[in-house]
Amino acid sequence: MTLPTSLDSLLKLAARTGERIAPLAAATDAGRDDGHEAYRVLRESGLLALLVPREAGGAGLGFGDYWRVLAELGSHHGAAALGLNMHHVVIGALADAAGTRLPPAAETFRAWMLDEVVRGRKLFASATSEAGRGAKLRGMRTRYRLSDDGTHYILSGTKHFVSLAGAADYYVVAAAADNGDENTGEVSHFVVAADDPGVSFGTAHHMSALYGTSTAPMTLDEVPVPRSRLYLGVEGMSLFKVVREPHWMIAGYTGAYLGIAEALFRHTVDHVTASPARADSPVVQQELGRMSARLRAARALVHEAGDLVTAERGSLEANAMVHAAKYVVGEVGPRLAQDALRLCGSAAVSRSHPLERLIREAQFAHVMPAKPQECLEYLGKAAVGVNLYDARAFAW
């Protein structure tokens, strides 16, 4: 199908797609299925190409409008929206480079990857985090070397939390050169196919929520990767990219968690208004008003931050804003969950009601990078004038 290009049409498509996958969320959360059906629906919808430039067959969305579409999906099925963001995290740099002439190897890589998304309907995922280190790039233990004949890179290592494990077609794997020191910041990314020799996945992690992200360990045992699948054909630039333009690595999740917060509020209002006596209570109305104010403030910040990235990608103010948005959404979701518990009582803890799942899902915003303390540190350093383009200023 051909994707619409207007935001209104894309939001309507996201709403229709969200309505199709919303009924799948409860069964996946209860462990009755692996959650992969939601990604089949997303493939079919064409939403995998939200960021792909229009001339390449995609919607060509900017970062701000992408967040809006992601929030719409997240309000229906938070885990699937997070999974869709994992896909877009790894094609975000290609979207950011739209219209920019690149070296021949990078041009070939970009054309191949975008074609896989648009015509191949291929789902991509990120494989970065490692046990004890999270998603930090410096000190990466997964390593790569060039094969003896120079035709392939050979990757070895273990990734701890890989979302879309078993669901995606390709995984963009972060690795450091085999001859680098233990604390090297020179990290590269490679596109590894799910069926490449030496690739295997462990059992999905037992989590309290968001099973639909299909998150599991990934082992790379001497995996041969063609040189053409080095991301954009450049080695050692990943940390530099994250420091200069952190919006994909640390803030893409924000739209999905805003959607979860939106759903929390909507279900709380629906529950309250089902009882006219409760809905007419000034005390209850004030509680709902507080929830509405918090949600509106978070939504406004997310929209402003996303639009600033679109207008001034990589600027110090845009980078600070995405950290602020990530922090605020991570705080608002759990607060709305507490409000829902007070207002809805047993409905909020009953597994038969969506509120119970949403309350658990809202807590996970703090797990995704950047974590709250990292967001605050970034904002504090911005306030006192630290050079935020210097990779040495951060633990990444």
Domain boundary, last residue among 97, 122, 147: 122
Look at residue 393 and tell me if it is in a domain. Answer: no
Q: What share of the chain is helix, strand, coil (3-state, %, to 5)?
A: 55, 15, 30
Q: What is the pLDDT of residue 58?
A: 95
Q: What is the pLDDT of residue 86?
A: 94
Q: Give 238's pLDDT tier (boundaries 50, 70, 90).
A: low
* CATH value at residue 113: 1.10.540.10
Closest by CA position to 80, among listed 339, 265, 259, 336:
259
Look at residue 311 and tell me if it is in a domain. Answer: yes
Look at residue 105 and tell me if it is in a domain. Answer: yes
Whether 70 and 194 map to the same domain: the answer is no
Look at residue 394 and tell me if it is in a domain. Answer: no
Flag whether pLDDT at 392 surpasses 90: no
Note the pLDDT tens digit of each residue in 68-88: 999 999 999 999 999 999 999
Q: Give 293's pLDDT tier (boundaries 50, 70, 90).
A: very high
Whether the CB-CB separation of 393 and 387 falls below 8 Å is answered with yes
Mean pLDDT of 226-231: 95
Whether 66 and 179 map to the same domain: the answer is no
Mean pLDDT of 299-316: 95
Whether 218 and 114 map to the same domain: the answer is no
Note the pLDDT tens digit of each residue in 320-365: 999 999 999 999 999 999 999 999 988 788 888 899 999 999 999 9
- CB half-sphere exposure, 132, CA atoms < 13 A: 4
78-96 vs 36-45: helix crossing angle, rounded to 10: 50
Whether 255 and 371 map to the same domain: the answer is yes
Flag whether pLDDT at 143 surpasses 70: yes
- Least reliable range by pLDDT among 8-12, 134-138, 372-376, 383-387: 134-138
Mean pLDDT of 376-395: 89
Look at residue 141 and tell me if it is in a domain. Answer: yes
Whether 249 and 206 map to the same domain: the answer is no
Look at the block and give the residue holding tokens 């040189």. Answer: 227
Q: What is the pLDDT of residue 150?
A: 93
Q: What is the pLDDT of residue 180?
A: 67
Domain boundary, last residue among 214, 235, 256: 235
Q: What is the pLDDT of residue 42?
A: 98
Contacts with 384 (C-beta within 8 Å, 6 or more apart), sequence order = none
**Whole-number mean pLDDT of the chain?**
92
Burial profile 319-330: b = 16 or more Cβ within 10 angstroms, e = fewer:
bbbbbbbbbbbb
Phi-psi region of 224 (alpha: psi -120 to 50; beta: other; left: phi over 0): beta
Closest by CA position to 176, among listed 163, 189, 167:
189
β-partners of residue 172 are 126, 191
Total number of domains constituting the chain = 3
Token digits for 326? 């990530």
* CATH value at residue 357: 1.20.140.10
Domain span at 284: 245-385
Whether 184 and 227 map to the same domain: the answer is yes
Q: What is the pLDDT of residue 1?
A: 60
Q: What is the pLDDT of residue 132?
A: 74
Mean pLDDT of 131-159: 88
Look at residue 390 and tell me if it is in a domain. Answer: no
Whether 95 and 223 map to the same domain: the answer is no
Residue that wins the pLDDT comparison between 239 and 301: 301
Whether 197 and 212 map to the same domain: the answer is yes
Note the pLDDT tens digit of each residue in 242-286: 778 888 877 778 999 999 999 999 999 999 999 999 999 999 999
Flag whether pLDDT at 47 surpasses 80: yes
Question: Percent of the chain scored above 90 by pLDDT?
Answer: 76
Q: What is the pLDDT of residue 100?
A: 83
- CB half-sphere exposure, 148, CA atoms < 13 A: 0
Whether 213 and 250 map to the same domain: the answer is no
Distance of CA 69 to the CA centre of its chain: 13
Q: Give 135's pLDDT tier (boundaries 50, 70, 90).
A: low
Look at residue 391 and tell me if it is in a domain. Answer: no
pTM: 0.93
